[in-house]
Structure 1
C-alpha cells in the first residue's frame, strides 16, 4: 500500500503544488498530478511562470492522449486527468475532490487540502476512504501566511 500524506490548511493550493513539484523534480522523482481539468490547466500555466528563470519540466496529458515515448521518458512531472496512466511515476499528487481510484498504483500519495469548507469536507471523505481501506495516513497541517 502506498504511503499517504495529507497536507491540510493550504492557503494557495496551486502555489503549494508548484513548490512541492519543484522539490520533487530536484530530487529526481517522477510525479503524476491529478485533479479537475480546469485545475490542471491552471497548474500547467503556473508551472511555466512559477519561479523566474526556472522551468519545472512537465506535460499535460488529457484522458485518452499519449505523449511521444521520448517525451514521456524524459518528463518527470505529469498532469493527468483522473484514471489516465502515468507510466514510471511513483508519486501521485491529488488536487481533486475525489479519492483517486488508481492510488494503489503509486508508492506515495500526497493529498492537498485548502481551508475552504468544501475542500475540507472532500478531504475528510478521502481521509476516511484511505483509513477504511487500511492505509496508513500521515497528517501535515500547514500554517502558511
Structure 2
C-alpha cells in the first residue's frame, strides 16, 4: 500500500518539555502540552489542533457547497470550542454572511453534519452545531 496523503508526526524531547514538535504534511509547528493547572497555553494545543481540523474542514466544505449552488458565500467563519469534563463535546458555530434560502439552508446544514472530519469524529465525541446565515 502506498504512502498516505495525510500524515502527522509529533516528537517530544526527553525531559520535562512542555512542547511537542509537530509536522503535518511537511508543515512544522509547536504544540504545547497544557499543564494540569494554570492558564491555557497561548499557542497550539492537542485539543486546539482537533478543533482546527474540524473548523477548517467545515469552512472549506461550506464554501464549496455554496459555490456549487451559485450562491456567493461572502465571508464564512467556523468556530469550534472544545468543552471538556466527564462528557466532552465539540461546539461548532458556522456563520455564513450570504443570505441562504430556507430549502438550501436545510441542505447546507446536512452538508455541515457530513463533512469528512465530522464523520470521523462524531462517533467518538458529540458535535453540537449552530448554523447562522445572512
Shorter-chain TM-score: which interval?
under 0.3
TM-score (norm 1): 0.25
Larger Rg: 2
Q: Which has the higher helix share?
A: 1
TM-score (norm 2): 0.27
Q: Which has the higher strand share?
A: 2
